[in-house]
């Protein structure tokens, strides 16, 4: 018996093979141009491949079928979300009106409202999605959505962490859950925990599946720790050099001792802070992100320049260089702190 083409197309979509699903659906629509389920699935497949205009056309045709209107409206909301958020809100609201008990429709509406920064109605829809979740998968989507709304509201950041932790208990290996947990940990000041979360998810998942935000968090926080600790060293070395070592040894010899101490501390900090890079998956993800943000590369290069500066002073006794390095490190650290605040939590 020939396989059901609609079931076959659904299977390809579940396997993340939208192109093959389109091939099956094209044969169905060639025979039955108004086949509702085929039009809806074709719209979804085209959404997955980025053919938004064709996806919208097919979804509108599917919407003409009364039994498909809720799903078609939700599809249209997702398709138009980036191009026209107001129109997307209307489609998502229509899907909720037609089937108010469907968790996934509430999730779509909540996410669109969040992107429009309408946080209170977004929160209400996310809570309704949680109440209507009928499976672990639906509950995870609702928890991630609710956490992503709470994480951008300062009074509700602790709630964002609680929601993300609940999602982790349900699905500890889901990279989307790990991403949301890391974001909630960052805004709650748990930066060391955020680095651990990001490292775990990056090491457990292929790079193509790992959410980009995790690489961003891991890179930015590790580099922040690196440049911050080295900045402290550069501030302390002049004190030890001129207040302690220069007295018994003289300025040139004291500078050599102080620079040697600074070099050792800088190398130890660098090796310790960058130890996560021993994991190749983590290192690759962080490198791909660092290349897109010049400040991360500049901060690491600055640390290398500081180490070389200490090496030069230790070899030559040229003590004025010791007094210059703190200004360099403080300047780079300040810029990095400003850039760190610009990392946006995941949608």
pLDDT digits (tens, 9 = 90+) for 330-340: 999 999 888 88
What is 1-88's CATH topology? 1.25.40
Q: C-alpha 200: how far from its chain's center?
A: 14
> What's the mean pLDDT in 101-106?
94
pLDDT category, 1, cuts 50, 70, 90?
A: very low
User: 192 CB contacts (<8 Å, ≥6 apart)?
Assistant: none
pTM of the model: 0.76
pLDDT at 191 (0 to 100): 85
Residue 239, CA atoms < 13 Å, CB-side half-sphere? 6
Rg (CA), the chain: 27
Q: What angle do CA 337, 306, 230 make, to 5 degrees?
A: 45
pLDDT at 132 (0 to 100): 94
pLDDT at 115 (0 to 100): 92
Cβ atoms < 10 Å from Cβ of 137: 14
Could you state, in order of their start, the residue ranges of all structural domains in the chain?
Answer: 1-88, 100-169, 215-340
């Amino acid at each position: 018996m020939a396989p059901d083409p609609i079931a076959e197309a659904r299977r390809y979509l579940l396997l993340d093979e939208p192109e093959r699903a389109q091939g099956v659906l094209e044969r169905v629509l060639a025979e039955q141009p108004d086949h509702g389920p085929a039009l809806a699935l074709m719209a979804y497949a085209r959404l997955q491949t980025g053919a938004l205009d064709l996806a919208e056309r097919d979804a509108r045709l599917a919407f003409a079928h009364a039994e498909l209107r809720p799903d078609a409206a939700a599809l249209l909301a997702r398709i138009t979300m980036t191009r026209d958020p107001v129109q997307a809100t209307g489609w998502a609201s229509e899907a909720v009106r037609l089937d108010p008990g469907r968790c996934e429709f509430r999730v779509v509406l909540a996410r669109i409202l969040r992107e429009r920064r309408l946080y209170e109605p977004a929160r209400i829809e996310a809570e309704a999605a949680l109440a209507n979740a009928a499976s672990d998968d639906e509950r995870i989507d609702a928890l991630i959505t609710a956490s992503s709304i709470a994480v951008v509201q300062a009074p509700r950041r602790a709630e964002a962490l609680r929601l993300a932790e609940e999602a982790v208990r349900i699905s500890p290996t889901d990279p989307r859950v790990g991403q949301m947990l890391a974001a909630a940990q960052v805004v709650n000041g748990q930066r060391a925990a955020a680095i651990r979360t990001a490292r775990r998810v990056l090491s457990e998942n292929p790079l193509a599946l790992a959410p980009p935000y995790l690489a961003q968090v891991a890179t930015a926080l590790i580099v922040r720790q690196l440049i911050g600790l080295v900045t402290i060293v550069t501030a302390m070395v002049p004190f030890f050099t001129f207040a302690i070592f220069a007295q018994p040894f003289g300025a040139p010899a004291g500078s050599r001792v102080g620079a040697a101490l600074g070099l050792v501390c800088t190398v130890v900090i660098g090796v310790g802070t960058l130890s996560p890079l021993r994991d190749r998956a983590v290192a690759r993800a962080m490198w791909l992100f660092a290349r897109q943000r010049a400040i991360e590369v500049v901060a690491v290069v600055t640390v290398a320049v500081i180490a070389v500066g200490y090496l030069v002073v230790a070899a030559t006794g040229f003590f004025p260089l010791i007094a210059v390095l703190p200004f360099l490190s403080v300047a780079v650290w300040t810029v990095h702190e400003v850039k760190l605040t610009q990392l946006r939590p995941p949608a």
